[in-house]
Every structure is written in structure tokens, then in C-alpha cells.
Chain A
């Protein structure tokens, strides 16, 4: 059974820092992996989708990498800003299923 873990659960950094959020999964037979952002009281917004054949995806200050063999993905945020404060979730789609399995998220606070 696929399990997705995100560590740390919470992170507080000063503005301007580069930071890395981690996501690990137990079954490496994945179809793709998505990173989402969730603001308090809101729904989820997809940030990046990495197909299993890809090693990384970039969007603006965000870069997500995928290492299937080790069951890991990282979300790199460059030059963090207070507006980046949110909860970041990763979700894994295991091959042969339609069900995304979500991690419990990392709650990020960027201090001005």
C-alpha cells in the first residue's frame, strides 16, 4: 500500500531564504507526482506535476525533482517571500490506479 510522508510538518524561515520541502513514498511504481499549495480555508492549487519519466519540473521560483528509485521528491523554493506562506502537499499516483495518495503536508511560514 502506497504511503506518502512529508517532513517536516511545519517550517518557519526568514524572507529571502532558499528552502527545500521533502516528500517520500513507499512504492516506486508511480505514474506521476503532484505538488499542491493550500492556503488557510481554501482549496488546493496544483503547482507542479512530474510524470514518472521526468526528473524535474520548474515554474518560476519553484523547482520539483523526482527520484523514483529512492522514493523521493523535493520542492525547492528560491528566494522565499511572505506570500509563499501556505501548506504544501505532495500527492502520488501509483501506476495502475486512479487514486492519488496525499501526504499530510508541510506548513510553511515565511517571516518578513
Chain B
């Protein structure tokens, strides 16, 4: 099993450009998450999807949109990238919300110049 797969692994954008971070899981999990990790800030939740077809805002949703395309895939879109969005982005999944262990992808390292 691949677990949680994120693409791309690295990306450099110019201010104002847009891009979509892709995430897919092969564990038949219901819940999926997007986090960002910044030095000294810990991980912060951007968006959450409890199940296919539902999404909810986390702590830091501004500047991002998400799509739960199907049970496997949960994408994160930056419509107009800003330097403040330079971060490491992690996708995670769990069988059913916070009751279960979360499995993380390897991350996408994004720099916005």
C-alpha cells in the first residue's frame, strides 16, 4: 500500500500564480485533512473533509480552496499565491474523523517568491 501520496514534492511559485496540490489515499479512509507546517508554529489545519462531498474550514483557510473529488482524493488550491503561503503542506487521512490514527503524506515544500 502506498498510504497517502502527495504531489508535487517541491514547488516554487511567483506571487500571484495559482497551483493545486494533490493528495490521494488508498486506505479507504473517510476523513482527509490539509495542514501547513511553519517553523515555531506547529501544524495548523487548513481544511478538513469528513467524508466524500463534504469540506469544512480549519484554523487557517484564507487563501485556499479544497475539493474532495472522490473518496480517495482531496486537493488543495492556491488561487493567487502569496509569500505568506510559503510553507510545508501535509495531507493526512483517517478512517473516521479524530477517533482514529491519522496517516500523513510526505509533504509538499512550497516557496512563493
Contacts and interface: CB of A to CB of B under 8 A. Distances in A.
Interface residues of B, number: 26
B107 to A, nearest CB: 5
Interface in A1-55: 4, 31-32, 34, 36, 41-46, 49
Interface stretch (B13-21, B70-78, B79-87, B96-104): B96-104
30 contacts: A31-B99, A32-B98, A34-B101, A34-B102, A41-B107, A42-B106, A42-B107, A43-B4, A43-B90, A43-B105, A44-B92, A45-B104, A49-B100, A49-B101, A89-B42, A89-B43, A97-B98, A98-B48, A98-B50, A98-B56, A98-B98, A99-B59, A99-B98, A100-B43, A100-B45, A100-B98, A100-B102, A102-B42, A103-B42, A105-B42
Interface of A: 4, 31-32, 34, 36, 41-46, 49, 89, 91, 93, 97-100, 102-105
